[in-house]
Amino acid sequence: MTPTKQPKVRVRFAPSPTGYLHIGGVRTALFNWLFARQHGGKFILRVDDTDQARNVTTALKPIMDGFKWLGLDWDEGPDIGGPHAPYFQSKRLDIYHSAVDKLLKSGHAYKDYSRADEFAAERQAAEKEKCQFTYTRTWMAESKADERRFESDGRDYVVRLKMPREGKCEFHDIIRGPMSFEWAGEQDHVIQRQDGSCLYHLTSVVDDFEFEISHVIRAIEHLPNTPRQIFIGQSLGLDLPLFAHLPFVAEPGSSNKLSKRKLDKYLKHRDFKVLYDHGEKIAQQIGFPASPETFNPVIVDFYREIGFLPDAILNYLLLLGWSLDDRTEDFSREAMIRDFTLERINKSPASFDPQKLTAVQSRYMWRLPMDEKLEMVLPFLEKAGMLQLPVTDETRIRVKAVIEAANERISFAGDILDYQEFFQADENISYNEKDFHKRLVDAHAQRELLVKYRSALAGVSDFSAGNMEAYMHAFLEQEEVGMGMLVHAVRVSLTGKGVGFGLFEIMAILGKDSCMNRIDRALIAASGQP
């Protein structure tokens, strides 16, 4: 069986409403979305909520918000509807029931009146003998009479598939090539529960047909499910979609599937912890509750909260299991839509690498135009309470100057909070204890030089970076000392820190008054120390 050219591409992503958007799910959705966009097809969002129980609306919102933020837009779905609405499986019960009836009538399914313990006993017996379990179909009702007999016995039924027990199921997987499974290895799967509700395999096949899905692009764990779904489809006389099974996204440094539940374990992985800590630091400063339930690098919200760029995440995820060639790494949205192919998706699992994600994000951030950077960064300063609202042109200019000076030091928008000293009053600057001692308290000669420099500075009015640099060089030349004697003491005085961007840019941004105030204050604080 070879894939035929489909005139219209319709793909779907079918999340169950779990309350969060998993990064692995995003990749699956991305591949679907790219495929649809490339072929001018439709990307459909369908909510797989057949096991319901929870509040679907609440649990769905973070997922849709996540996709919206990432810019993965859908053409049909729960909120916007479409020609095949509703897009909630829980609201399509009638359709599933008529499919079940059809299967029952055609003899591809049967009512099974076994009690749970009876069925389980058979299975356990098979397991004990270490052989493949095949249901005896002892409680299969083959006629109305059987049904009445079982029911008078007080039994209730589930509907099971009457799977073939010989021959093979063969199909083509776009990524993996020809597939072949023995029908005998399949179970008589339940498609309708005792309470009348239907199960995934049935609903999925029925909806894929109803929605006219042309390509099912989904995670590899569904590959072994495919034969039973093909059986359902064929029994119903439906046109089958083409299949493409994606490798899963693995944990950093392991081949286990990435899971939200194991945050504690991941935090023991160095690279993962570095990312988490970085994010947590930002979250704390903006007062975002950093609980692993809502704030965790496996969940998309994490990245949004700390100031990632959606395009960077998509670019990284694209490369997780797919490549164009041996060197192209940069893909704009347009480029990925143009170049993506299912055929070049890898077969083996790819593990999630926080360091590489960070590297991609940094690159995207650095080359972002200033105005966009400004808009990204402002909310962080606001949330951290560093700005007076409304934001004036004057503060915008200052923020821009800080962004410009910090340059590649800002990888996530939230990193702007590393430069709070530019948005604080002079008397509120706190000193990094170690640097303060090293550069001021314990450095007597340097401190004396700073006093001199401070007095000299009082006579200077041009505090532009260029002039500050020229002036300091002239001063040092006169004093006949090297730059190292002064620069560090000035930096710690002005920012409280031993590291940061260029000193002369710092001085220019702060301006004369602040510089003088801060040096005075540092000098007093340092001399008061033992």
334 binds RNA (CB under 7 A): no
Indicate the SS3 state at residue 109.
Answer: strand
User: In the bound complex, what is the minimum distance in angstroms from residue 477's beta carbon to RNA?
Assistant: 13
220 binds RNA (CB under 7 A): yes
Indicate the SS3 state at residue 186.
Answer: coil
Q: Which residues of 32-61 are buried (b: 16+ CB within 10 A; e: fewer)?
A: bbbbbbbbebbbbbbbbbbeeeeebeebbe
The residue among 157 and 288 lying less far from RNA, judged by its C-beta, is: 157
Chain residues 467-506 in contact with RNA, contact rule CB under 7 A: 469, 483-484, 487-488, 491, 498-504
Q: Which listed residue (54, 356, 398, 437) binds RNA by CB under 7 A? A: 356
Q: Which listed residue (94, 166, 195, 480) binds RNA by CB under 7 A? A: 195
Q: Which listed residue (31, 67, 139, 200) binds RNA by CB under 7 A? A: 200
The stretch among 48-56, 236-244, 282-290, 516-524 that binds RNA (CB under 7 A) is 48-56
User: In the bound complex, what is the minimum distance in angstroms from residue 486's beta carbon to RNA?
Assistant: 9
The residue among 104 and 391 lying less far from RNA, judged by its C-beta, is: 104
* CA atoms of 215 and 205, how far apart (whole Å): 12
The residue among 222 and 437 lying less far from RNA, judged by its C-beta, is: 222
* CA atoms of 31 and 336, how far apart (whole Å): 10
Six token digits for residue 210: 């109803």
Q: Is the peptide bond before 164 cis (omega within 30 degrees of 0)?
A: no
265 binds RNA (CB under 7 A): no
Q: Which listed residue (141, 174, 250, 368) binds RNA by CB under 7 A? A: 250
The residue among 213 and 387 lying less far from RNA, judged by its C-beta, is: 213
As to burial, measured by CB atoms within 10 angstroms (0-12 exposed, 13-18 middle, 19+ buried), residue 182 is: middle
Q: Give Cα separations from 60 to 82, 92, 93 (angstroms).
A: 18, 17, 19
261 binds RNA (CB under 7 A): no
The residue among 105 and 130 lying less far from RNA, judged by its C-beta, is: 130
* CA atoms of 9 and 24, how far apart (whole Å): 23
Evaluate whether 285 touches 417 at the Cβ level (below 8 Å): yes
466 binds RNA (CB under 7 A): no
The residue among 347 and 444 lying less far from RNA, judged by its C-beta, is: 347
Evaluate whether 214 touches 9 at the Cβ level (below 8 Å): yes
131 binds RNA (CB under 7 A): yes
86 binds RNA (CB under 7 A): no
Q: How far apart are the first and last CA of the chain?
A: 84
Write the binding mask 8 to 47 for RNA: x where contact by CB under 7 A, - elsewhere: ------x-x-------------------------------
Closest CA to 423 of 396, 457, 451, 448: 396
CB atoms near residue 433 (< 10 Å): 10
DSSP string, 47-63: B--TT--S-HHHHHHHH
The residue among 9 and 319 lying less far from RNA, judged by its C-beta, is: 319
Write the binding mask 132 to 151 for RNA: x where contact by CB under 7 A, - elsewhere: xx------------------
The residue among 153 and 408 lying less far from RNA, judged by its C-beta, is: 408
User: In the bound complex, what is the minimum distance in angstroms from residue 320's beta carbon to RNA?
Assistant: 5
User: In the bound complex, what is the minimum distance in angstroms from residue 524's beta carbon to RNA?
Assistant: 23
401 binds RNA (CB under 7 A): no
Residue linked to tokens 């700073």: 450
The residue among 288 and 316 lying less far from RNA, judged by its C-beta, is: 316
User: In the bound complex, what is the minimum distance in angstroms from residue 305's beta carbon to RNA?
Assistant: 22
Q: Give Cα separations from 129 to 116, 118, 235 (angstroms).
A: 20, 17, 33
321 binds RNA (CB under 7 A): yes
Q: Which listed residue (75, 146, 151, 182) binds RNA by CB under 7 A? A: 182
User: In the bound complex, what is the minimum distance in angstroms from residue 526's beta carbon to RNA?
Assistant: 18
Evaluate whether 245 touches 349 at the Cβ level (below 8 Å): no
